[in-house]
Amino acid sequence: MRILVLGSGAREHAIVTALLSENAGHDITIAPGNAGIGLDVPAVALDATDAELVTEYAIDNDIELVVIGPEAPLVAGVADALRYRGIAVFGPGRAAAQLEGSKTFAKRIMDAAGVPTGRAHRAETLEDAIAALDEFGAPYVVKADGLAAGKGVLVTSDRDAAVEHATFWLASGGVLVEEFLEGREVSLFLLSDGHDVAPLSPAQDFKRLLDGDEGPNTGGMGAYSPLPWLPEGFVQEVVDTIAVPTIRQLEHEQTPFIGLLYCGLILTPGGIRVIEFNARFGDPETQVVLPRLTTPLSTLLYAAATGTLEEAPTPEFSSGAAVTVVLASEGYPAESATGRVIEGLDEALRVPGVTIAHAATQIVGNDLVSSGGRVLSVVARGADVAEARARAYEAVGMISLEGVQFRTDIAANV
């Protein structure tokens, strides 16, 4: 199959790696990609958010399936343009992508579908936001209403910090003030063809920059899968009470969701609640979910894109575990140092079960250098979480990057 993957991060590298592992002779192209992905498949300098450009490229190159990785092209309507020209796309159209692009839209859909979630209030003025903060009380939860690259959420007991966060994001739109929910968090991916869903394996990610869940929120500093502590029947409960009602509500509103429904969930004393929805594979969870997938990924993605998920095989996973540790640049997430040389990858790749997904790398001269905030995802598989974790950190110890930041407690208390 001729496949075009849009994106340039570790998530897209993980998708490409999973497609290549099928050994099915796929012709895969990444746009725009990065230095690491470009070593595995051809990369083209294409603006992934330019719907007309992407569509022209897909038509000119007889692309049979487009897989949209990041959220920006979805919100920009790239999937709509491709579908209009008859090209199979894994990724929702602009209207359905509001599930991620607008927290207010997502809350409305959840309310209409009867999906369990926390109370929320959308504020458009600072006075309104402050009133909501005082109503819900500490810990305070403030979220940017639109896309914020993983940096729009603040959870704090500091009222002044909550007000400051609300003030900052109000300048670019509304904010949501939400009820604080306490419990263990879970990420669950579900493939959707607009009517049916197929769940993948649950994972847990680590959003805070520092050990012990301290420091600012990031795009994610690590993850692991599976989650041995989940109660029996958890996935089916999410399918029945959250995923299917949400997908069917969107279908009812004539905004079918075709792609990856990311359910950010929390296990509260009162049951499972939705923290947020995303409209695409999560990063870094994708890096630990896809390596365990034994069903051909291309089969599943194409079935979702063409409305035939009911006829596709049920996604199956290996019995082992996977852990990923993210290596980030100095200064991340505020201002990331770039252009710093990365060394030791060959040695790290010699550790059994280890692969490396590139997120922000480029070639300068003869050197591989950092080009953004989250630079690499070191991924390791093992017989269980403990073995995968040990291998991941062994590999991390072999990589050299000046000023590197990484957490040392990923999957430590499983």
pTM of the model: 0.92
Q: Which residues are registered as beta bridge partners of 363?
A: 368
321-328 and 222-225 as β-strands: parallel, antiparallel, unpaired? antiparallel
d(CA 322, CA 335): 30
What CATH number has the domain spanning 321-401?
A: 3.90.600.10
Q: Examine the pLDDT at 192 and tell me if it is beyond 80.
A: yes
CATH homologous superfamily for the domain 182-311: ATP-grasp fold, B domain (3.30.470.20)
Q: Confidence band (pLDDT; 50, 70, 90) for 119?
A: confident
What tens digit of pLDDT does each residue of 229-278 get? 999 999 999 999 999 999 999 999 999 999 999 999 999 999 999 999 99
Q: Mean pLDDT across the stretch 302-327?
A: 98
DSSP 114: T
Q: What is the pLDDT of residue 150?
A: 55
d(CA 116, CA 272): 7
CATH 3.30.1490.20 fits 121-178, yes or no: yes
What is the 3-state composition of the chain as percent helix, strand, coil, each rounded to the nearest 5?
Answer: 35, 30, 40
Contacts of 208 (CB under 8 A, 6+ apart): 214, 215, 216, 217, 218, 221
What tens digit of pLDDT does each residue of 14-56 get? 999 999 999 999 999 999 999 999 999 999 999 999 999 999 9
Q: What is the pLDDT of residue 173?
A: 75
Are 160 and 138 contacting, i.e. CB atoms less than 8 angstroms apart? Answer: no
What CATH number has the domain spanning 2-93?
A: 3.40.50.20
Q: Examine the pLDDT at 148 and tell me if it is beyond 70.
A: no
Q: What is the pLDDT of residue 154?
A: 86
d(CA 151, CA 161): 14
Domain ranges of the chain: 2-93, 121-178, 182-311, 321-401
d(CA 110, CA 122): 15
Q: Mean pLDDT across the stretch 185-203?
A: 98
Average pLDDT, the chain: 95
What tens digit of pLDDT does each residue of 165-176 get? 999 989 877 788
Q: Examine the pLDDT at 149 and tell me if it is beyond 70.
A: no
